[in-house]
Amino acid sequence: MTGGLLLIGAVILICILMNNFLEKLPIPSLIIFIALGMCFGENGILKISFDDYEFVNLICSVSLIFIMFYGGFGTNLKQARPVILQSVTLSTLGVAGTAVTVGLFAHFVLKLPFTESLLIGSVISSTDAASVFNILRSKKLALKNHTDSLLEIESGSNDPVSYMLTTIIIAVMAGGEVPVGTLLFEQIAFGVLFGIFIAKITTWFLEKDFFTSQQSRTVFLFGITLIAYALPTVFNGNGYLSVYLCGIILGNTKLSQKKYFVHFFDVITDVAQVIIFFLLGLLVTPVNLPSVLLPALLITVFLTLIARPLVCGVLLLPFKTSFGQFAVVSWAGLRGVASIVFAISTVLSGIDTSYNLFNLVFCIVLLSISVQGTLLPWISRKLSMIDKNSDIAKTFNDYQEESDVSFIKIHLDESHPWCGHTLKELSLPKDLLVVMIIRDNFTILPNGKTRLQRGDLLVFSARSFEDREHLYLQEVVISRSSKYVNLPLCKIPSTENKLIILIKRGTSTIIPTGSTVILPDDVLVVAQLKEHSLKK
């Protein structure tokens, strides 16, 4: 156990430290994580022997729950509304069409048994949300005609359909009678009902004052995510469908302090993706891949160049989709972690197949992400589908942070020059608004004619600013022996790229001026530009 924890911790640290470097590479970063796992594996540098399918299946399945929840939670339905019908059509009929088309190819070309061919088609029939989101965001790929939103909705919502088809085919191959109609009804009905019900109950709890802190609200939502998957599965419902619906309803509901949820699940899903792709790389045995490389290559070529375009063309034709959008959507059908998770589940079910299904699907996913993922930005540019005047962040719910409003307060003392003036007489920037005045324990909602008095506490609203790329904050504790003790700030040598923006003194917070005197034990909050921004 200690060795396993050491390995996982080391991998996470390596991946985080490599993050800035990976973003500059033309290939999807997820490929690097797979390669890293293979380097650690049995045929790699460290030669770690690892073949625990059940452990990987558990980790990947749990991780997929959070990836699907956050896929729904982060999708902005308002931005996606113009293409919602196209997205749902591709995520349902498109998945079924892809499964059948690939299944027929595997049966007639690769000469595999019909049910086994359908199983392969079902396992790889869904596009991967993690891969699509990763490429769109990391490459800042905003696409015209809401194509980015279309891909996000489709990739985030089609895994449940692929899971249903895979479950049915496995049951058929296992023998015995399979009530397909009943199974489909239970999967869809309970998945939808529980997803909506749990989302509504969660919204009610979050809107009430049941929680002592934002941290407890976040942990509550963490638990809800697990319940949204597990509860419908007790009744043979589709847990992935439930958790996705729950996420998309909550993500598009007005909740206070939603940005904290976004930050938390953003980290969770990032770590989940790193762990998933590393474990998959560790689990695979590269020397066994050549035996499935040719069929994997043939299926990938057929899927990418024939099956996906054919299905997309037929389903998008009634919507009068432009050629550029059709081509990008056809190419962007990346396969990913869900397909591998379903393949592992099939292996664990004991179903006999002509090829090792895990190795076969692993090669298909690797080829899909490396070729399709790498060329997606280039193809989008060649088809003139990149919208240079838009921001891919707008298609996600966490874009609202960019327009968040911050509140600041100013107290008017006797000597303040604003005393005696009306608000309309002040030369305030247009983005700065006085939203409230507290005067003698009374609250006033002001207008332009409101006259300011000494002792007033003014509350302003302004656009918040967050720029982690160029700016960082540093705390400096003033010791009693410091040469700056008892000196006003105006007497302290300043540098061009540093500014003291805050002083913490005991339990008090001070906004400093040039006359503010530094005292022992003060904590100075210093804003400083990062080095690479200074060179610009």
Q: Are 67 and 129 in contact (CB under 8 A)?
A: yes
Question: The whole model's pTM is what?
Answer: 0.71
pLDDT of residue 309: 96
Task: Evaluate whether residue 23 is within a structural domain.
Answer: no
Q: Are residues 369 and 419 in the same domain?
A: no
Domain with 491 in it: 471-534
CATH number at residue 328: 1.20.1530.20
**The domain boundary residue, chosen from 386, 413, 445:** 386
Q: Are residues 256 and 273 in the same domain?
A: yes
Based on the domain organization, do 408 and 292 belong to the same domain? no
Instruction: Tell me the backbone φ, ψ of residue 264, rounded to 5 degrees.
Output: -65, -55
- Residue at 334 is within a domain: yes
Number of domains in the chain: 3
| Predicted local distance difference test score (pLDDT) of residue 402 | 44
Q: Quick one: 135 and 154 in the same domain?
A: yes
Inter-residue contact 70 to 266 (CB < 8 Å): yes
From first to last of its 536 residues, the chain has per-residue pLDDT tens of 676 677 667 767 776 676 666 666 666 667 777 888 888 777 777 777 777 888 888 888 888 899 889 888 888 787 778 888 999 999 999 999 999 999 999 999 999 999 999 999 999 999 987 778 777 777 777 888 888 888 888 888 888 889 889 988 988 888 766 677 788 888 889 999 999 999 999 999 988 867 778 888 899 999 999 999 999 999 988 898 899 999 999 988 888 777 788 888 888 888 888 888 888 888 888 888 898 999 999 999 999 999 999 999 999 999 989 999 999 999 998 998 889 889 998 888 888 888 889 999 999 998 998 899 889 989 999 999 988 777 666 656 554 444 456 778 888 888 888 998 998 888 888 778 888 999 988 888 888 889 999 999 998 887 766 555 566 677 788 888 888 888 888 888 776 577 888 888 877 778 888 888 999 888 888 887 765 444 43
Note the pLDDT of residue 403. 47
Residue 24 has a pLDDT of 66
Shared domain check, 475 and 459: no
Domain boundary residue, one of 463, 493, 514: 463
Pair 335, 203 in one domain: yes
pLDDT of residue 532: 44
Question: What's the pLDDT at 296?
Answer: 94
Q: Structure tokens of 467?
A: 């720029």
Dihedral sign, Cα of residue 195, residue 197, residue 198, residue 199: positive
Residue with the two structure tokens 């210093």: 526
Residue 527 lies in a domain: yes
pLDDT at 3: 67
Residues 344 and 406 in one domain: no
- For residues 63 and 169, give the distance between their C-alpha atoms in angstroms, rounded to a whole number: 24
Residue 9 lies in a domain: no
For residues 257 and 357, membership in a common domain is answered with: yes
Same-domain check for residues 212 and 353 = yes
Residue 6 resides in a domain? no
287 shares its domain with 193: yes
Do 290 and 419 sit in the same domain of this protein? no
Can you give the CATH number for the domain in which 438 is found? 3.30.70.1450
Residue 37's CB is within 10 A of a number of other CB atoms, namely 24
Are 134 and 376 a contacting pair, CB within 8 Å?
no
Question: Are 219 and 149 contained in the same domain?
Answer: yes
